[in-house]
Amino acid sequence: MSAEGYEQELQSERAYVAGLYTRLDGERARVKGEYEAALGENGGTPMERDVRVRALGREVRRLDVVDNGLCFGRLDALDADVSYIGRIGLFDEEDEYRPVLLDWRAPAARPFYTATGANPENVRRRRQFHTRGRRVIEFTDEVLGRPASGEHSDADADDAALLAAVNAPRGEGMRDIVATIQAEQDEIIRLDHPGVLVIEGGPGTGKTVVALHRVAYLLYTQRERMERHGALVVGPNPAFLNHIGRVLPSLGETDVVFTTTGGFVPGLHVTAEDGPEAARLKGELKILDVLAAAIADRQRTPEEPVPITVGDVTVRIDAETAQWAVEEARASGLPHNEARDVFTEIVTYVLTERAINRIGRGWLGRDDREERDDLKRTLVKDLAGNPRFVAAVDELWPILTPQGLLASLYESPERLRAAGADAALLREDGEAWTVSDVPLLDELVDLLGRDKAADARAEQAAERERRTQAAYAANVLDSLIEREDLNDDVGLLAKDLLYAEDLADRFTERDTRDLVERAAADRDWTYRHVVVDEAQELSEMDWRVLMRRCPGRSFTVVGDLAQRRSAAGATSWASMLERYVSDRWVYRSLTVNYRTPAEIMSVAAAVLAGFAPGIRPPESVRANGVQPWSRPVTEAELPAAVEEFAREEAGREGTSVVIGPADVPGAVPAAETKGLEFDSVLVVDPDRILDDGPRGAAELYVALTRATQRLGVLHRGPLPVALTGLTELAAPATAGRQP
């Protein structure tokens, strides 16, 4: 169209989008008003009030996070119908709820991502907006059907929007791709599969952001099924979770819990790291036998009979009695702490029978059943309160906690041997928890079961608190009734409160925590859908934890087997998944690299060929003309070279990182950058990264593929053969400098 026509269209689009923001602001004000009113409501039951408060709270958050890029496109159908596409749906309540903005996940919005010239899907024109804040800056059109009079078909418009997005400087976190989803990505996002979906792709293929958009899509299309339990996203480290944390809120979804595999035990702090052998041993399912044996080792029989005085006679817990009790308790199938009741019951039975035989030998007749039963009850009660008996039971069948059992196992060579465990698990501080300990502790929660005595104490404390509140409420009620100057309203209130507990409910603090807060604090919470990123690193034991968190087995699994670092990680997806979901899992791959320029990817591909020759690297969607470089430095020159890199990058827009061994100033390990991306990357001492264990080559591959624009390499030792394709600089290192 002409420049004048374009300007007129631009002004029209600006006016329409401004109207959408006006509608959004009005909706926000309305919902916030209802939310604040709900917080002060007293009608209905406490549960009903809490449900309403939480529902309105979710809606407030949803409307608060979609401000940026609210509307990013428009579809013109062949029948002249026009639809605007955005992050959420908005409707005209005065016009029979006519949609004025289509949610990108709605079926009617799908052609925005999938329509092509060969298959226009009833779309005549696709328009994409470039916005800044609330203002439309410009737009591009792609005519898919036959151009109308005055229209020009720009076949490159779609590519232009994509390239603009991938070339833009990176900010502090991952951005959503809602405006530039590609057809192969959209197919995966909307895939209708109730089981496990595995998305594999090399660096930069967008597998993580596709998985997040898939969660947003499921939350939209299956709202009723998912909203009470939410979704879980599991990432490799806190930095990664922080990096991706804005994507789902930007799409209007907040009922999602983010955690690492180290976060599955609420309140546990991971402070140490296992060596490769210990991590491998803890990650294998064989460790279940060790845990079972460690528990059995604490279920003991006495070396010498334990004398117990009851009813003025002394009876003994001998090895034979204890062994019978142990066998019966184990045969019950109950968890250890709950089976203690069976153990105690058997020992109590034997001791009371022995005591009755001795006490009643001279005066109990064969037919004195009633007196015998009375004596039995007395002896049982005496035993339950006998300190010596209680101490003996504690010694033979102790109440165990997951942390206490596992810590004592790690600290004792004798207990490790008794449990059939490898000596590699021995450590000085048993409570120096590692990520590999978490699935074991989680397993022990189920193997050990509840501590009924502790639960009873907690319940008693809660009941005492409730009685205190009820007593306070009763006093308030009495004072209202006794007052002589009651007005009609207060008197009516007093008469309506028939029970003090009704008034106590009004003084009970409501649980207004949102789903994320409640789920994160509850070890037994289950989710409707789980996303697992960097899934190739998860062990067999990690997968047991995840399957417990999602009984419906609805997963999106994201990973790249070529990037596996952990010795306990996956060598194939089937080996990890088939025992849980059999044939209920499907595989999809992403093959286009949207992050890494072709110049950098060619270098990384040489490293990949060295350790995984059968894997084809993803094809970069772009080249940027900036050649990656390398430069040898001495020990003395290294700090200045790293400082120069940091100084020059500080003057550029975007992000940067130094990746290298721990002794390199300001460097982070390659493992901590997994899933992250930076405009500029400086890799230091690649030879040492290669030599760091059997998966060193995979670590170097990860390091090289974090860059979206510029890559430099400093090396004190010999440059690895796989990196000889880098342009060598003799001058001081400068990221992106051309030789």
Binding residues: 201-208
Phi/psi at 678 (nearest 5 deg)? -140, 150
Where do we find the tokens 């906690």?
401
- HSE of 335 in the Cβ direction (CA atoms, 13 Å)? 17
User: What dihedral do alpha carbons 266, 210, 248, 20 form, nearest 10°?
Assistant: -170
Sign of CA dihedral 179, 183, 184, 188: positive
Q: What is the DSSP letter of 668?
A: B
First to last CA, the chain: 44
699: tokens are: 């670590």
H or E element, residue 314: strand 313-317
Q: Greatest CA span in the chain, whole angstroms?
A: 118
Annotated binding site for ATP: 201-208
- Do the beta carbons of residue 230 and residue 254 sit within 8 Å? no
Q: Which residues contact 170 (CB under 8 A, 6 or more apart)?
A: 654, 655, 677, 678, 679, 708
Phi/psi at 320 (nearest 5 deg)? -65, -45
Pairing of strands 555-559, 306-310: unpaired
User: What dihedral do alpha carbons 394, 399, 401, 407 form, nearest 10°?
Assistant: 20
The answer for 685, left when phi > 0, alpha when psi is -120 to 50, beta otherwise, is left
Phi/psi at 127 (nearest 5 deg)? -115, 135
Query: CA nearest 397: which of 328, 446, 456, 459?
Result: 328
Sign of CA dihedral 588, 591, 594, 596: positive
CA–CA dist 620, 305 (Å, integer): 76
Could you tell me which residues are beta bridge partners of residue 585? 196
CA–CA dist 205, 241 (Å, integer): 18
- How would you write 498-537 as a 3-class SS string? CCHHHHHHHHCCCCCCCHHHHHHCCCCCCCCEEEECCHHH
Query: CA nearest 560: which of 198, 284, 197?
Result: 198
Q: How far is CA 633 from its chain centroid? A: 41
Tell me the CA distances in angstroms from 31 to 108, 558, 608, one per residue in order: 26, 36, 53
Residue 486: count of CB within 10 angstroms of its CB: 14
CA–CA dist 666, 189 (Å, integer): 38
477: tokens are: 């009620």
H or E element, residue 656: strand 656-659
104: tokens are: 């990108």
- Do the beta carbons of residue 126 and residue 119 sit within 8 Å? no
For residue 404, the one-letter residue type is: G
Number of helical (H) and strand (E) elements in the chain, helices listed first: 28, 21
CA–CA dist 242, 673 (Å, integer): 12
165: tokens are: 């997005």
Where do we find the tokens 């789980």?
530
